[in-house]
């Protein structure tokens, strides 16, 4: 299993993002932040340089975060950004595809994957969801931001843009994934339902809140979320 090397772009990642899509990704990441106020144990995968997690820790003083990333430099940036809440942040320099999730002994009520699932192939994504599901609380939330190929006139342009992004990441980090995986099917099969969503740039970017359905409870009745 080849591991991509995001260390080489970790420090410039933020600026590359702002240069290419302005503040659009930032807005996506933070869109549903207020809805995480009731969460206590978060698992953040492919955390990156910590811009989201620092805000999550600041906005929610009761939350504890396990953040996993394959890049040491990304994790160092995350720790710098979250210094004020270092006692509630546990960083793991690891490959999310092989991390022993049960070893932390926690029942997570929030999973966060902002622009991370697109680093995985379809089989890797399905395996990851299968490994995480057993360590999640019955009504856990899953916050997902990612690129999408919209229907309609923007389809071809979006396809070309996503293809060029994968090419750039392959050149810069050695990422082998070359197309967006389908998370909708496996996450639904593991009992999650999408309860809120927001799309931008004509559907190219999406951020969604999913919730695991507790037995005999609909997601909307079982937890407050708007
Ligand atoms: C495209 S960046 C997204 C970063 C951040 N979540 C964001 O919102 O911008 C992907 C992140 O996932 C990490 N990553 C990629 N593959 C990984 C893997 N297999 N296990 C853990 N982290 C991984 C990279 O180091 C990088 O920080």
Structure confidence by residue, pLDDT tens digits, 101-125: 998 899 999 999 999 999 999 999 9
Average pLDDT over residues 214-225: 44
H helix or E strand, kind and range, residue 221? helix 219-222
Contact partners, residue 217, CB within 8 Å, separation at least 6:
139
Report how far ligand 1's centroid is from the alpha carbon of 91 (Å).
Answer: 13
4 CB within 6 A, ligand 1: yes
pLDDT at 215 over 80: no
How far is 215 from 114, CA to CA, in rounded Å?
A: 28
Report how far ligand 1's centroid is from the alpha carbon of 69 (Å).
Answer: 6
Report how far ligand 1's centroid is from the alpha carbon of 169 (Å).
Answer: 11
For helices 51-59 and 72-81, give the axis angle rounded to 10 degrees.
Answer: 30
For 51, other C-beta atoms within 10 Å of its C-beta total 20
Q: Which of 145, 120, 111, 203 is nearest to 25 (CA)?
A: 145
Q: Which two tokens stand for residue 48?
A: 């990156």
Average pLDDT over residues 184-202: 97
Tens-place pLDDT, residues 42-66: 999 999 999 999 999 999 999 999 9
Domain 7-222 has CATH 2.60.40.10: no
pLDDT at 186: 97
pLDDT at 225: 37
Q: Which two tokens stand for residue 131?
A: 């490994």
Give nearest CA residue, ligand 1 atom 17: 70
105: exposed, middle or buried (Cβ count in 10 Å: 0-12, 13-18, 19+) = exposed
Q: Which of 159, 150, 144 is nearest to 197 (CA)?
A: 144
Give nearest CA residue, ligand 1 atom 8: 114
In ligand 1, which atom is closest to the CA atom of 95?
A: 20
144 CB within 6 A, ligand 1: no
70: exposed, middle or buried (Cβ count in 10 Å: 0-12, 13-18, 19+) = buried
Q: Which two tokens stand for residue 185?
A: 């099917």
- 134 SS3 class: helix
Tens-place pLDDT, residues 63-74: 999 999 999 999
Alpha helices (H) in 22-177, listed in sequence order: 24-31, 51-59, 72-81, 122-132, 155-173
């Amino acid at each position: 299993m080849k591991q991509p090397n995001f260390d080489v772009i970790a420090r410039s990642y933020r600026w590359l993002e702002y240069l290419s899509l302005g503040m659009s990704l930032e807005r996506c990441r933070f869109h549903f932040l207020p809805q995480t106020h009731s969460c206590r144990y978060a698992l953040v995968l492919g955390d990156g340089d910590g811009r989201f997690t620092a805000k999550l820790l600041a906005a929610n003083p009761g939350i504890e975060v396990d953040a996993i990333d394959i890049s040491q430099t990304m994790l160092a940036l995350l720790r710098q950004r979250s210094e004020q809440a270092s006692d509630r942040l546990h960083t793991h320099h690891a490959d999310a595809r092989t991390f022993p999730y049960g070893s932390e002994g926690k029942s997570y009520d929030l999973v966060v994957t902002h622009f991370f699932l697109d680093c995985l192939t379809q089989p890797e994504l399905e395996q990851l969801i299968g490994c995480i599901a057993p360590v999640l609380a019955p009504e856990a939330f899953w916050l997902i931001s990612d690129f999408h190929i919209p229907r309609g006139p923007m389809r071809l342009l979006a396809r070309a843009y996503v293809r060029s992004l994968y090419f750039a990441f392959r050149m810069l980090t050695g990422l082998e994934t070359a197309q967006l995986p389908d998370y909708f099917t496996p996450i639904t099969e593991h009992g999650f339902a999408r309860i809120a969503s927001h799309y931008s740039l004509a559907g190219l970017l999406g951020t969604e809140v999913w919730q695991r359905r507790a037995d005999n409870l609909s997601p909307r009745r079982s937890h407050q979320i708007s």
